[in-house]
Structure 1
Amino acid sequence: MLKPRIIPCLLIHNKGLVKTVKFNDPKYVGDPINVVRIFNEKEVDELIVLDIDASVKNEEPNYTLIEKLATECRMPLCYGGGIKNASQAQKIFNLGVEKIAISSSAILDINLIKEISKEVGAQSVVVIIDVKKKLFGGYDIYIYNGKKKVKKDLKNFILEIQELGVGEIVLNSIDNDGVMKGYDIDLISSIKSLINVPMTILGGAGTIDDIKEVVNKFGIIGVSAGSLFVFKGKYKAVLINYISKLDKVKIFDSISK
């Protein structure tokens, strides 16, 4: 039986790990390699690592860092940041990364999805869609770390990228990022029926109950979080952590109830 994946999402800024709030105010939380080693010991399902500088600064992916991460990582690794063509994706894939994440570049050139899918296989291509609520309902898509809104309809875009060979879709709520008050349930509800590939939701988790709520409502779904797995307590002390095996069992059991 398939089970939900519970996935830490790590952000790289100035070569260190940070956590943001609504895509702003990055707070340093540690060294990427050390954090990966901790997650190895905690038997994490999967890991997403995103370089939030590369696309904004029009830089190449940091292949040296990617290779170090892939070498250390004992769980499936999804890496994104600065990927603008299929050859870059293939180079990253060859370093040992299981999934290639694209966001701004795929939204600006939707055919990039097809090109990378042909190169590394559709199952390895992840498109991350950063969205923000509109004033009067619905959602806008943003690129470049939430700095630029694009004129694309979210539902149409989701249908288009599935036709082009995307292997997974990650929906990231800018409004909920780092707030730790729960996922945007309305966002998931509005698009879940359109998606026929694996889907992961990101943005807002503050407790294990937030993850359980999503699984209860939507069943088999990827649930990703940043703050939940790097902070502890109301003062947000940095402490790398993950869900206990007992909590996982409770979450998985909730699907059939």
Structure 2
Amino acid sequence: MLRTRVIPALLLDGQGLVKTTQFKSPVYVGDASNSCRIYNQMEVDELVLFDIRASSKALPIQFELIQQIVSECFMPICYGGGVKTLEDFRKLFYMGVEKVSVSSLLFDNPQVVKEAIKIYGAQSIIATLDIKRSRFRKVQQVYLHNGKKRIKKV
């Protein structure tokens, strides 16, 4: 029988962690490094860290903050948010991130994703999609940038 894996997802907004409802109304819930220490004690299997504003507001990746979080964690970390170049992938993997999650990059520049897969392997690159179901037609649609930009064809 397979063992249940515990993989919490933390949402970064600026320097702190937030909780949102459908990517709206972020409520501050704490410090990322402190939360990481708590998850270390709970012995979670992996940690997913999403910067929820990096892509939608074209903000740079907070490498210093990520480095601080990685240095506190004793579990594999997956990071997503604002990744645009092969250099971003390189920096993230160099500082100890084990997986990188991409969403808008899949549609904006898929060639960068293909190159990253060639260099770092398919097991290290995660595709993340936001799916919404339309109210009237009950059709599922892909969205980017915190549910603000709809992709017409997938």
Provide TM-score, normalisation by structure 1.
0.57
> What is the alpha-carbon root mean square deviation over aligned residues?
1.4
Structure with larger Rg? 1
1:18 maps to 18
Look up the match of 1:144.
Answer: 145
Task: Find out whether 1:97 has 2:97 as its counterpart.
Answer: yes
Return the letter of the residue paired with 1:64.
E
Asked whether the 8 Å contact 2:5–2:44 carries over to 1, the reply is no
Aligned-partner Cα distance in 2 for 1:127–1:90: 17
User: Whole-Å Cα distance in 1 between the matches of residues 115 and 46 of structure 2?
Assistant: 25
Is the CA contact 1:90–1:119 (under 8 Å) kept in the aligned structure 2?
no
Partner of 2:7: 7
1:128 aligns with 2:132: no
Instruction: Calculate percent identity across the aligned residue pairs.
Output: 44
User: Following the alignment from structure 2 to structure 1, what is the Cα–Cα distance between the partners of residues 6 and 141?
Assistant: 26
Matches within 5 A, 1:1-257: 2-134=2-134, 135-153=136-154
**SS of residue matched to 1:101:** strand
CA distance in 2, matches of 1:7, 1:44: 6
Gaps of 5+ in 1: 154-257
User: By how many angstroms is 1:152 displaced?
Assistant: 2.2
Q: After TM superposition, where is structure 1 displaced by more than 4 Å over at least 4 residues in a row?
A: none
Name the SS for the 1:79 alignment partner.
strand
- Paired residues in the alignment total 153
- Partners of 1:152 and 1:4 in 2: CA distance: 35
CA distance in structure 1 between the aligned counterparts of 2:120 and 2:69, rounded to whole angstroms: 19
Distance in 2, matches of 1:113 and 1:5, equals 27
Tell me the SS of whatever aligns to 1:11: strand
Shift of 1:112: 2.7
Deviations 1:187-220 (A, max 9, x none): xxxxxxxxxxxxxxxxxxxxxxxxxxxxxxxxxx
Please say if residues 50 and 80 of structure 1, whose CA atoms lie closer than 8 Å, have aligned partners that are also in contact.
yes
Q: Contact 2:105–2:113 at 8 Å: present in 1 too?
A: no
Query: How far does residue 107 in structure 1 lie from its aligned partner after superposition?
Result: 2.5
Q: By how many angstroms is 1:52 displaced?
A: 1.0
Name the CA distance, whole Å, in 2 between partners of 1:152 and 1:47: 31
Q: How far apart are the structure 2 equivalents of 1:49 and 1:141?
A: 21
> Paired residue for 1:236?
none
3-state DSSP of counterpart to 2:90: helix
Identify, as 1 or 2, the structure richer in helix: 1
Bigger shift: 81-90 or 2-11? 2-11
Tell me which moved more, 2-11 or 119-128.
2-11
Give the aligned residue type for 1:92.
L
CA-CA distance at 1:15 after TM superposition: 1.2
Q: Answer yes or no: is the 8 Å Cα contact 1:86–1:119 preserved in 2.
A: no
| Deviation for aligned residue 1:79 | 0.6
Contact 2:46 2:75 in 1 (8 A): yes
